[in-house]
Amino acid sequence: MGEHRVSNNIRVLRFHNDEMTQQELAEKVGVTRQTIVAIEKGKYSPSLELAFRMARVFDTPLEEVFSFNEEPKKK
């Protein structure tokens, strides 16, 4: 639970997409706002399908939304 190797730029990407709210993003990818909050905070690693849906919403490659760190990020 405490360690996640996947980090993300969702907050920045939301800001650059007309300051999209977490609720708007949640509706576009079909999850609850709580899940977006958890992903942004690094408390949940999304499924591959959800990750692709998010990348599609931001119209950007997956690697720009999520990145994989070799060293686990300690919470």
Partner 1 sequence: MYYQEKKSIVNIISTLLVYGIYYWIVYQEYGDRVMSPDEELQYWGKTMLLIIPIAIASKIVIHIIFSITNRLVTSERQPCFEDERDKIIALTSTRNAFMVFGFGFLGALGVIAYGMPMRSMFIFMIVAGVLSDVFDNLSQLYFHRKGI
Dihedral, CA of residue 60, residue 36, residue 45 and residue 43, to nearest 10: 140
Give the residue carrying structure tokens 């079909």.
30
Applying CB under 8 A, which part among 12-20, 30-38, 55-63, 66-74 lies near partner 1? 30-38
Per CB under 8 A, 20 contacts partner 1: no
Residue 32 binds partner 1, judged by CB under 8 A: yes
Q: Check residue 73 for interaction with partner 1 (CB under 8 A).
A: no
Which member of 2, 68, 71, 74 binds partner 1 (CB under 8 A)?
2
Judged by the rule CB under 8 A, the positions of this chain that interact with partner 1 are 1-2, 4, 30-32, 34-35, 38, 41-44, 46-47, 50
